[in-house]
Amino acid sequence: MKYSEKYTRGYFMPPVQSLKWTEKEYIKEAPTWCSVDLRDGNQALIVPMNLEEKLEYFQLLLQVGFKEIEVGFPAASETEYAFLRTLIEENLIPDDVTIQVLTQSREHIIKKTFEALQGANKAVVHLYNSTSVAQREQVFRKSKEEIIDIAVTGAKMLKKYAAETEGNFQFQYSPESFTGTEVEFSLDICNRVLDIWQPTADNKVIINLPATVSMSMPHVYASQIEYMSDHLSYRDHVILSVHPHNDRGTGVADAELGMLAGAQRVEGTLFGNGERTGNVDIVTLALNMFSHGVDPKLHFEEIPSIISKYEKLTRMRVHERQPYAGELVFTAFSGSHQDAIAKGMKWREEEERQHWTVPYLLIDPMDIGREYEGDIIRINSQSGKGGIGYILQQSYGIDLPIGMRESFGYHVKSVSDHKHKELMPDEIYDIFIGEYVNIHTPIEFIRFKHTQNGHYETSVSIRMNNEEHECMGIGNGRLDAISNAVQAKLGIDYTDLVYKEHALEIGSKSKAVSYVGIRANNGIVFWGCGIDTDIMTSSVKALFSAINKMVVSLQLLIKKEYSHSIK
């Protein structure tokens, strides 16, 4: 691309190597989660939530299990202020939940923030000011010492107003635009704030290091976090927090590596809502941990209902390919994927394995409220015989023989291709019934009788062209005798009769299903299926369904050859 030379790497590596985080394999315990949906996510909405919607969203966050929730910027608008007062005055905040509010380092804003917090049982007051080179030079046009003075002055005001206000308050400081700030300067300004607040074991302080704009690869952010973690004053009394944005599409990776590097707390939103490309997606982060066998301490057992409420209140949409939550993320259209999933599910059922190892499925969809039927395998022109067979088996209890799966699979794919659409399970079932089950034209089976004398002798009644005929045959079994009788009567020939039967497990359990495959002289295998309350009758119906398909095919072939000969 043109003009790449105009861009430079605006981040700063730590002055010493910070790579201990690379020795860790995975995140072994959940961090403290703080939802910023109601502040950072809300301000990013085209139409911000009103008071009633914010109250409903707050209840959703409680149901998910958040113990820290940023409820807004109470000095910014009347809605924000009224929301906070409603939560406090109507006693809507559970005893084990801490609310958080944001404030700039300006006295009139800090004063109004504490007015809004009057009587709060537990609240984090989050102070921030921007520290990056770009902000210092272009926006504030201030020196480093002047930027430090803004932070220190704000820290002192928080202590002053907290002492004068009824409530229980914890302090948090963010050097906003941390990722564009020299790491040594970030350390200096954070330590100067900590010196004002003097944290203790009983009164810890949160230092939040936001990727306000994601500027580097995730390993750089991790090294920055580790350096800060190793050199912050009062470290044992500091809760180190990260707040990654997703400008480079690496918000989740930034958060995960940040936790490996020492972060104990993560601020983010459901499904990554937020300014520009959004905040880090806490759903993805939490379920990534879940996929490693770690309890994330949040409740996503019913993802569909969470999505429904989220979309209603934010007027945003969860994308179909959103990790874990998207409508299609557990869905396979590819034939090879479908086959592997179907076999993996069957293997898991047979082996009764403790751990989830199904190919292509990172976690069991059932664990987050998704259904196997219609979620895992969906059918279009790219699908394969394994997936199509899986749909019939899971949804309707029809377990096709392997060869029949291939024959039916090609037929279904052709229908999907011509219609240019995905086929739903009921459509696939209807195609199967119409093409394979109890076919009675041009030859209709009426009845049969057997006698046994070392072998089976049979009499079969059939109807063709509105006339009834009797067929006589002998065979090693009842179906073999009927097959021989029909071949002799009609003057047709086929070999390699394949037979399978089972009880219909879904729907009417009193019915039996039979499948028959026959190979014509031209090598083509024709399949038929019979369904009946009597297992033998279902077998005969399956045989006649296969014979009818063969006869019709041969008639069409003869007609086609005759047409060519006329020309």
**For the whole model, what pTM was predicted?**
0.79
Kindly tell me if the per-residue pLDDT of 148 is higher than 80: yes
Tens digits of per-residue pLDDT, 51-89?
A: 999 999 999 999 999 999 999 999 998 999 999 999 999
Q: Which residues pair with 124 in a beta bridge?
A: 100, 170
**Closest by CA position to 342, among listed 388, 390, 412:** 390
Mean pLDDT of 507-516: 83
Q: Which two tokens stand for residue 386?
A: 């394994």
- Pull the structure tokens for residue 142: 């201030």
Taking CA atoms, 473 is separated from 377, 439, 488, 542, in Å, by: 44, 22, 8, 18
Q: What is the mean pLDDT of the chain?
A: 91
Answer whether 87's CB lies under 8 Å from 117's CB.
no
Average confidence (pLDDT) over 403-427: 84
The pLDDT of residue 132 is above 60: yes
Return the structure tokens found at 49: 């939530």
Tens digit of pLDDT for each residue in 337-382?
A: 777 887 888 888 887 778 999 998 999 999 999 876 556 666 665 6
pLDDT band at residue 387 under the 50/70/90 scheme? confident
**Architecture of the CATH domain 444-564:** 2-Layer Sandwich (3.30)
pLDDT at residue 151 above 60? yes
**CA–CA distance, 408 with 416 (Å, rounded to integer):** 12
Looking at the predicted structure, is the pLDDT value of residue 492 above 60?
yes
Listed in sequence order, the DSSP H helices in 240-384 are: 251-260, 282-291, 303-314, 335-351
Separation between Cα atoms, residue 485 and residue 459, nearest integer Å: 8
- Residue 507 is predicted with a pLDDT of 64
Q: Which residues contact 114 (CB under 8 A, 6 or more apart)?
A: 125, 161, 162, 164, 165
Amino acid at site 145? E
Q: Which of 442, 446, 391 is nearest to 413 (CA)?
A: 391
Query: What are the two backbone dihedrals, phi and then psi, of residue 466, each rounded to the nearest 5 degrees?
Result: 65, 15
Q: According to the model, what pLDDT value does residue 405 have?
A: 87
Q: How long is the chain?
A: 567
> Does the pLDDT at position 509 exceed 70?
no
Residue 197 has pLDDT above 60, yes or no: yes
Enter the tokens of residue 440: 């009675």
Count of Cβ atoms closer than 10 Å to residue 210 Cβ: 21
Q: Is the confidence at residue 35, as pLDDT, over 80?
A: yes
d(CA 207, CA 240) in angstroms, rounded, equals 5
* pLDDT value of position 564: 47
Tell me which residue of 100, 106, 92 sits closest to 71, measured CA to CA. 100
> Around Cβ 28, how many Cβ atoms within 10 Å?
12
Contact 209, 225 (CB under 8 A): yes
- Gap between the Cα atoms of 516 and 287, Å rounded: 46
pLDDT at 385 over 70: no
* pLDDT for position 566: 43
pLDDT score, position 451: 82
Residue where the block lists tokens 């107003």: 161
Q: Name the architecture of domain 32-314.
A: Alpha-Beta Barrel (3.20)
Task: Please tell me the predicted confidence (pLDDT) of residue 567.
Answer: 44
pLDDT band at 562 (very low <50, low <70, confident <90, very high): very low
The whole-number average pLDDT for the span 395-414 is 86
pLDDT higher than 60, residue 283:
yes
Distance of CA 490 to the CA centre of its chain: 56
Greatest distance between any 2 Cα atoms in the chain: 109
Across the range 432-442, mean pLDDT stands at 94
pLDDT at 300: 98
Q: What is the mean pLDDT of residues 540-546?
A: 95
Helices (H), 397-450: 402-419, 425-436
- pLDDT for 563 equals 46
Residue ranges of the domains in the chain? 32-314, 335-426, 444-564
